[in-house]
Chain A
Amino acid sequence: MGVTFDQIIDALLQGAYVTIWITLASTVGGAILAFASGIGSLSHFAPARWLSKTYVQIFRGTSLLVQLFWLYYALPVLIGIHISPVAAGILGLSLNIGAYGAEVVRGALQSVDEGQLEAARALNFTPGQTLRRILLPQSIIEMMPPFGNLAIQNLKDSSLVSLISLSDLAFQADDLRNRAFESDTITILGLTLLFYFVMALVLMGAMRLLERYFEKVSGREVAR
């Protein structure tokens, strides 16, 4: 019994690698879903609105852990589709964070001044052109601070994938704790917190850089 310090670090690094990967993939997946359903919820096409709103309600209104259980344990029983724990984890986190992100996208698009829409109409832009050239460039800056929060939320939520047998950082920490002497518990859990914190710092830094970039292209200052 017992583990060395090097073994602790090794195992935590392995876990962190899985966590980073899952967080990045599901943040990108979530962003795609957020734009698709945020824009969809404002569409003139009723089924697109209905689909977007239903998706947002369902995934905001149920527990992420239960969503992961459904994807990993219930889908195989229900429709005979087996997906890997990695796929289930990324899909579950994407769907969940995408539902929150959709509300951010919708709110930011609606915050653009009505006069911009009137000018776009007077110049005879199509709805698609108005969205791409006027609404999105102006509102993306407003989405960045809440997106940053969601990305960090997503990093921390990713620890739930340990419960569908993925060996992420939280899983490794728990595994180490079971194998180690009780006296090492503080070291293991302390390092685990530190690992999450450093990853969050890097994520916040990256979001800040994105924010700066979009500040330039939007012609609008971000409200803090």
Chain B
Amino acid sequence: MKPIVRFDKVTKSFGDTVILRDFDFELTPGERVVLMGPSGSGKSTVLRILMTLEDIQDGVVYIDDEPLWHEGVGNNLKPASDKHLRKMRGNVGMVFQHFNLFPNMTVLRNIIEAPMKVLKLSRKEAEARADELLARVGMSDKREAYPNSLSGGQKQRVAIARAMAMRPKLLLFDEPTSALDPEMVGDVLQVIKDLAAEHDLTMLIVTHEMGFARDVADRVCFFCDGQILEQGAPSKIFTDPAEDRTRQFLRMVLHEEPASEAS
């Protein structure tokens, strides 16, 4: 199957600090991939490049065989215009670690604003879409509430609905539960699991929740120093990793979050 995402020798650096070097990576449509690894290893950067929040210095990123950060074909690529980036961004949605709901809008407004203003849906269509999603994430009763009155877990569930309302082909989750109190984590992970079961959208998830990864992921990629050190099915990576670094990291994560095994 044609990959939905392809990184071809991508280099990303901040000043002198190289985050990704000659990075290659592929996602097939419908695949659920979990990215793990120490902080600063480049896993969130992969998501942020795909969401066009960070540009790249070298190489090409393709979404559905079309260059994301470039325009043109073959070797004749030039940097993408704002128009091209806007078109490409329509394929991708993102759920952030800190939710980033708009505090000046109600829950409903947070969800319908972009479908109405960007996708030009009518208010009726946008609300129908929002209500269905709110029901799906268990937040229907908070439709008219403002984000500041919600708990972290509730905010994240709304943020997931907001991203889904744009009907992306590819949904990115950047540590969706790291900013949550422990008792909220399960709810949010359950919502993501349900979405994964009901939709065939492609998901790329940065998380350290191993129990969740085992349930949802087709593939786990272990990041180290801007490279994928090893990857494979969660059962393989979690029980019998080939690399010492992976083993060390997993032991550390298990120690920090004993609850994640149980979930």
Which A residues fall within an 8 A CB radius of B? 113, 115-116, 118-119, 121-126, 129, 133-134, 137-138, 217-220
Residues of A within 8 A of B162 (CB): 123
> Do B90 and A124 have beta carbons less than 8 Å apart?
yes
Residues of B within 8 A of A124 (CB): 86, 89-90, 114, 118, 166
B152 to chain A, nearest CB (A): 14
Q: Which chain A residue has the least Cβ–Cβ distance from B159?
A: A119
Interface size of B by Cβ–Cβ distance < 8 Å?
Answer: 27
B249 at the interface (CB under 8 A from A): no
Q: Which chain A residue has the least Cβ–Cβ distance from B168?
A: A122
> Do B100 and A118 have beta carbons less than 8 Å apart?
yes
The 7 closest A-B pairs by CB, nearest first: A219-B103, A119-B100, A123-B114, A115-B100, A137-B104, A122-B94, A219-B104
- Which residues of B (46-60) have their CB < 8 Å from a CB of A? 51-53
B86 to chain A, nearest CB (A): 6
CA distance A129 to B51 in the complex (A): 18
Which B residues fall within an 8 A CB radius of A? 51-53, 86, 89-90, 92-94, 96, 98, 100-105, 113-114, 117-118, 146-148, 162-163, 166
> Do A218 and B104 have beta carbons less than 8 Å apart?
yes
Residues of B within 8 A of A220 (CB): 103-104
CA distance A133 to B86 in the complex (A): 18
B180 to chain A, nearest CB (A): 16
Q: Which chain A residue has the least Cβ–Cβ distance from B88?
A: A124
Residues of A within 8 A of B93 (CB): 122
CA distance A116 to B104 in the complex (A): 11
**21 sampled A-B residue pairs with Cβ under 8 A:** A113-B100, A115-B100, A116-B100, A116-B102, A118-B94, A118-B96, A119-B101, A121-B53, A122-B89, A122-B92, A122-B96, A123-B114, A124-B86, A124-B114, A124-B166, A126-B86, A133-B102, A133-B113, A133-B117, A219-B103, A219-B148
Residues of A within 8 A of B147 (CB): 219
> Do A219 and B94 have beta carbons less than 8 Å apart?
no
> Do B89 and A134 have beta carbons less than 8 Å apart?
no
> Do A219 and B105 have beta carbons less than 8 Å apart?
yes
Residues of B within 8 A of A122 (CB): 51, 53, 89, 92-94, 96, 163
Residues of B within 8 A of A218 (CB): 103-104
Residues of A within 8 A of B94 (CB): 118, 122
